[in-house]
Amino acid sequence: MALIVQKYGGTSVGSTERIKIVADHIKKTKSKGNQVVAIVSAMAGDTDKLINLARGLSKSPSEREMDLLLSSGERISSALMAIRLNDIGTKAVAMTGRQCGIITDSVHTKARIRSIDADKIREYIDNDYVVIIAGFQGISEINSDVTTLGRGGSDTTAVAIAAALRADLCEIYTDVDGIYTADPRIVSNARKLDKISYSEMMELASLGAKVLQIRSVEFGMKYNVPIMVLSSFTYNPGTLVTKEDEDMEKILVSGIASDKNQARLKISNVDDKPGIASKIFSAVADNNINVDMIVQNVSENGKTDISFTVPKDDADKALNILNDLSRKLHTGSVSYNKDIAKVSIVGVGMRSHPGVAAQMFKALSSENINIRAISTSEIKVSCIIDEKYTELAVRTLHKAFGLEK
Ligand code: ASP
Ligand code: MG
C-alpha cells in the first residue's frame, strides 16, 4: 500500500464535468489499495475573477482581506470534490488549510509555510477516508489569519503535505503532459523528459516555465519528495522531478527556457567607488522589486555604467527610483528597454562539461542574434536578447544542443 498525494490544478477541476472525471480517478487510485490525499486548486479562472472583483472596489485592496477572499476559490473546489466522491461511494472529507494544520508566516498574499501538523489528516486516512485539501492557503502563526501562498501556491501545498506525511509520491496533475525540453508551442519537436533533477526544475521554473510553483520544487528538494508532473486529460506517463543521478550528468543541456517578462534599466556615469551599488540596489529592493541580471562595466576615469533587469511590470517603478537616485548621486542618464527577453539553457551536465556557454553563443551568432547581457550559474547560462528574436533563439538552441525528438 502506498500513500499518494495528488494535486489537481485549476483546469483539471475547471467544471463539474471535470470534477466528476477527477473524482473517478481518485476513486480508482484508492481502489488499487492506496491511501490518497488530494489537493485542489480553485476552478479555472476563479482566482482571477475574485481578484478582479476586489480591484473593481479598490485600487489597492487590503492584503489580509484579499487572502480571505482568494482562499474561498479552493474551498469551493475542495468541497465539491468531496461531495462528488461521497456520492460515488468513496468516503471523503474536505479540509481548508486551517483545518489541516498549515501554519504560515504573516506575509499576506505570498505567505510561506512554517509548519504542518498533519495529525488530523493522518487520522482520516487511517480511517479509510480520502482527504481533499483546499490548496494555496494556511493560517498565520501570530494572528491565525487566513493567508495564501502566492499564485500557483497549491503546488506548494501539495509537496509540503507530501513531505509532512512522508508520502511515497506526489503527483501534480495539470493540463500538460510533463516537462519538455522547450515550450512545445515554440518548438514543435520538443521532447517530454522522463525525469529531471530538482535543481534543473528550479532553474526552469524561475526562468518562466510555469508548470510548477518554484517553492514546491524547493520543498521537494529539501525533503526529497518525488514529484510526478502529468496530465489529468491524458493520464500519460509524465515527468518525474527527483534527485540528480549519473544519467542526468551525461546530458549537457536538459532544457531551453525563455522569459519575455524582462525589462533592462541602465544608469550611466556613476562613480566607481564603494557603496554606490549598495545605494542603487537597496533602493530597488526597498520597493520590493526583484532584480535579476546585473552588469557593471569596467570603469574608465573612475566612472562606470550599471545595468540590470527587472520584471516588466516593475520597470516604471524602477525607472522612477533610478531617476531619483540619478539626481542625488549626480550620475549620467538613466535609460530603459522593455523589448528584451531572456533565453537560457539549463542542465546539470554543464558542471562537468566545459565549453557549453561558448556553444550557446556560437549558435546565437549563427542566426545573427546579438547578446546584450550574459549571466551564468553552475547549471545555467542566460542571455538577454532583443525580444523579437525569442522564438528563433529558442529553436536555434534546441537544435544546437540536439534536444529534438
Ligand atoms: N488558485 C491559485 C492561483 O490561481 C492557486 C493555484 O491554483 O495553485 O494562483
Ligand atoms: Mg499552476
Could you write out the DSSP letters of every residue in 61-109?
--HHHHHHHHHHHHHHHHHHHHHHHHHTT--EEEE-TTTTTEEE-S-TT
Across residues 76-103, what is the average pLDDT? 98
- Report the alpha-carbon distance of residue 201 to residue 214 in Å, rounded: 8
**Least reliable range by pLDDT among 9-23, 40-54, 152-166, 311-325:** 311-325
The predicted pLDDT at position 298 comes to 87
Across residues 110-124, what is the average pLDDT? 97
Residues with CB under 6 A from ligand 1: 10, 41-42, 47, 73, 135-136, 151-155
The predicted pLDDT at position 316 comes to 93
Ligand 1: which of 41, 109, 156 to mutate, most ligand atoms within 8 Å of CB?
A: 41
**Local confidence band at 36 (pLDDT 50, 70, 90 cut-offs):** very high
Q: Which ligand is nearest to the CA of 77?
A: 1
Across residues 43-51, what is the average pLDDT? 98
Atom of ligand 1 nearest to the CA of 153: 8
Going from the Cα of 213 to the center of ligand 1, the distance in angstroms, rounded, reads 10
The predicted pLDDT at position 213 comes to 95
Atom of ligand 1 nearest to the CA of 157: 8
- Report the alpha-carbon distance of residue 132 to residue 224 in Å, rounded: 23
Across residues 163-179, what is the average pLDDT? 96
Query: What does the pLDDT look like over 132-153, one tens digit per residue?
Result: 999 999 999 999 999 999 999 9
The predicted pLDDT at position 307 comes to 94
DSSP 177-218: SS-BSS-TTT-TT--B-SEEEHHHHHHHHHTT-TTS-HHHHH
The predicted pLDDT at position 249 comes to 85
Is 0.85 topped by the overall pTM?
Answer: yes
Going from the Cα of 226 to the center of ligand 2, the distance in angstroms, rounded, reads 18
Helix locations, 251-295, DSSP H: 276-286
Question: So where are the chain's domains?
Answer: 3-175
Going from the Cα of 211 to the center of ligand 2, the distance in angstroms, rounded, reads 6
The predicted pLDDT at position 206 comes to 80
Which residue puts its alpha carbon closest to atom 9 of ligand 1?
Answer: 151
**Local confidence band at 191 (pLDDT 50, 70, 90 cut-offs):** very high
pLDDT beyond 80 at 297: yes
Q: Which ligand is nearest to the CA of 47?
A: 1
Mean pLDDT of the chain: 95
CATH 3.40.1160.10 fits 3-175, yes or no: yes
Task: Please say whether the beta carbons of 208 and 258 come within 8 A.
Answer: yes
pLDDT beyond 80 at 375: yes
**Local confidence band at 300 (pLDDT 50, 70, 90 cut-offs):** confident
**Least reliable range by pLDDT among 111-115, 238-242, 269-273:** 269-273
Query: What does the pLDDT look like over 200-252, one tens digit per residue?
Result: 999 998 876 778 999 999 999 999 999 999 999 999 999 999 999 988 888 88
Atom of ligand 1 nearest to the CA of 41: 7
Going from the Cα of 92 to the center of ligand 2, the distance in angstroms, rounded, reads 24
Which residue puts its alpha carbon closest to atom 6 of ligand 1?
Answer: 152
Q: Could you tell me what percentage of the chain is helix, strand and coil, using 3-state DSSP and rounding each to the nearest 5?
A: 40, 25, 35
Atom of ligand 1 nearest to the CA of 149: 5
Ligand 1: which of 74, 156, 174, 229 to mutate, most ligand atoms within 8 Å of CB?
A: 74
**Least reliable range by pLDDT among 64-68, 123-127, 184-188:** 184-188
